[in-house]
Amino acid sequence: MRVFTLDDLLALNDEIAALVRAGVPLDSGLAELGRELPGHHGRTATALSRELARGMPLDEALLQSRAEFPELYISVVTAGLRSGRLASALEGLAAAARRVAELRQVTATAMIYPLIVFLLGWILFVGLVTFFAPHVFPVFRDFHASSAGLFAWFAELGPSAAWWAPIAPALVLLAVAFWWWRSRQALLLDSTRLLGWVPGARRLDGLCRSATFADVLALLVDQRVPLADGLRLAAAACGDRRMTADAEALALAIERGAAPAEYLRHTGRFPPLVAWFLAAGQEARLLVSALRHAAASYHERARQRAEAVHTFLPVFLTLGVGGTCVLAYALLVFAPWVDLLKTISGP
């Protein structure tokens, strides 16, 4: 099993969408692509072309592939095949995937300056316990300053700095490197765990999933797929497990003859615009138009959220890490120094 990166998935997705748009048979198109592309991409495209040539549907070929495709991607392909609009479904997912990739790049860039600030602060702390504390501790001790115990502890740490000083920077750099490696995997599309700590990322992910849900459901309803089946496929394509469970419950209710509005009163997990349009009980043609309007609205809101994250994330990380380092340095150095001056000056 080869790990598929987010960039790999976007590249292959664009190629498949282009082949479908051009009307080129996927088996021959992917075979030609496999001969042109080097390494991982080429082997994956060739393997997919072989399975397609045997008559296997694309979604099953992706499951059989030795590349690790996200479940969300396979669900979108399944919905696209079912609706007969595979290229549109892939292009809708690609927009959301690119926002995730851009968020990852922005996060990595925004972490550079805070990392420099942290490393500089750590170097100053090591210098404090190695050079400064041993020289000023006798002064604190002789004047019986209340912070003498703190500087005594610093002075004791100094001789062993060669052992513990490299640990914190090494751990931080290893954690950042591991995050960078893990966040490049295509499986990130199925989860926000690696980017969920970024301010605004969860909301951005929710908007992207809502747009995907509305897009895919519109495609399916437009091709006269039963609404219950369309809800199941669209929920699977958006990758939200809780929404998938709610969609299954709503689909079962519809199959029993219940009106969607009856069930939608008791759940808040569907995108609000989509839930409102479904509850209105519109005919298929009007529902398709309304769902496309909802998808466009969610795409636009996701774009605005992404721009806000791009603008404010570097400021947030810099203030958070830099402010913490400045506060820690002030508490460790200036507060004891002020205490010493008060002690010397007397009551």
Q: Span 266-281, mean pLDDT?
A: 77
Q: Tokens 């992917």 appear where?
A: 30
Instruction: Give the model's pLDDT for residue 274.
Output: 84
Instruction: Give the model's pLDDT for residue 45.
Output: 82
For residue 22, the surrounding DSSP H or E stretch is: helix 6-22
Lowest-confidence pick of 130-144, 229-243, 252-266: 252-266
Instruction: Give the model's pLDDT for residue 82.
Output: 84
Instruction: Give the model's pLDDT for residue 199.
Output: 81
Higher pLDDT: 345 or 30? It is 30
Instruction: Give the model's pLDDT for residue 282.
Output: 66
List the one residue out of 277, 279, 255 whose CA is nearest residue 266.
Answer: 279
- 203 in Cβ contact with 21 (< 8 Å): no
Which stretches within 143-283 are classed as H helix?
Answer: 148-157, 161-164, 167-183, 201-222, 227-238, 241-255, 260-264, 272-279
Residue 265 has pLDDT above 80, yes or no: no
Q: Which amino acid, 2?
A: R
Residue 166 has pLDDT above 90, yes or no: yes
Residue 172 has pLDDT above 80, yes or no: yes
* Percentage of residues in the chain having pLDDT higher than 90: 6
For residue 8, the surrounding DSSP H or E stretch is: helix 6-22
How many Å apart are CA 321 and CA 310, to the nearest integer? 18
List the one residue out of 182, 125, 131, 183 whose CA is nearest residue 328.
Answer: 125
Q: State the CB neighbour count (10 A cutoff) for residue 272.
A: 11
Residue 1 has pLDDT above 60, yes or no: no
pLDDT, averaged across the chain: 83
pTM: 0.78
Q: Tokens 């504390």 appear where?
A: 133
Q: Span 59-85, mean pLDDT?
A: 81
Instruction: Give the model's pLDDT for residue 135.
Output: 84
- 186 in Cβ contact with 73 (< 8 Å): yes
List the one residue out of 66, 39, 38, 70 whose CA is nearest residue 50.
Answer: 66
How many Å apart are CA 249 and CA 266, to the nearest integer? 11
Give the sign of the dihedral formed by CA 115, CA 116, CA 119, CA 125: negative
Higher pLDDT: 41 or 182? It is 182
Instruction: Give the model's pLDDT for residue 190.
Output: 65
